[in-house]
Amino acid sequence: MREIFQSQLQEVQTRLVEIASDSARVIEKASKAFTTSDATLADEAIAIADATGDKALALDELVIKILAKQSPVARDLRVLVSALRISASLERMGALAGHIAAIARYRFPGSAVPASLAATFAEMGELDVKLAKQVVELLKNTDADFARQIQAQDARVDELHRHVFDVVLGDDWKENAMFTVDVTLASRYHERFADHVVDISSKVSYLTTGDWADSEIQ
């Protein structure tokens, strides 16, 4: 019976890594589509984002079945509770990246990024991609020290997000209202993507230490 349960826990971890890998693919394609006005990449990102949501839902259903049948305690219970929370964050990461791709798709064939913010969005995208790939590795090894290292990298994304707002609210900003909304939303999506990475890393810390950090991101 215990062997079956351990096999189920391994299946949960495997699925989490798969969904995390999909989320990393989405943000990589979406951020590039956004900065290069690539409609093909945008369409690919949106399709993967939709599939990621379906996979997260299927994982949630699996975890709930395991909870109902096995009634786990102690660390096993923490693994499954963490899996539900992590799954939710991964789903949101995929959705947020999909939103970025949708803006690029809507703006095509025009640019979604004004020249004054091109470098900012390029760096923001690179950081989100890096963080997403680190989450994949984190879910494979569940290392608490690595989780803390990931959390520390969010500060730069927050800084870039504030810079976007500074530029948009500055006297030199001459773009129209719709462009302003798109740029502001894209920046917010990047920032929230990184927030979910931090949220996942805190859940992994909970998994390894038992200390809960209530940092749920919507």
Flag whether pLDDT at 216 surpasses 70.
no
User: What CA–CA distance (Å, rounded) separates 36 from 32?
Assistant: 6
Give the model's pLDDT for residue 6.
83
**Domains of the chain with bracketed CATH:** 2-209 (1.20.58.220)
User: What CA–CA distance (Å, rounded) separates 8 from 25?
Assistant: 26
pTM for the model stands at 0.91
Flag whether pLDDT at 210 surpasses 60.
no
- Which comes out higher in pLDDT, residue 73 or 77? 77
Query: In which element (H, E) is residue 116 found?
Result: none
Average pLDDT over residues 42-53: 96
Give the model's pLDDT for residue 218.
52
User: What CA–CA distance (Å, rounded) separates 144 from 206?
Assistant: 9
Flag whether pLDDT at 217 surpasses 70.
no
Flag whether pLDDT at 206 surpasses 80.
no
Q: Which of 11-25, 30-44, 95-109, 135-149 has the weakest average pLDDT?
A: 135-149
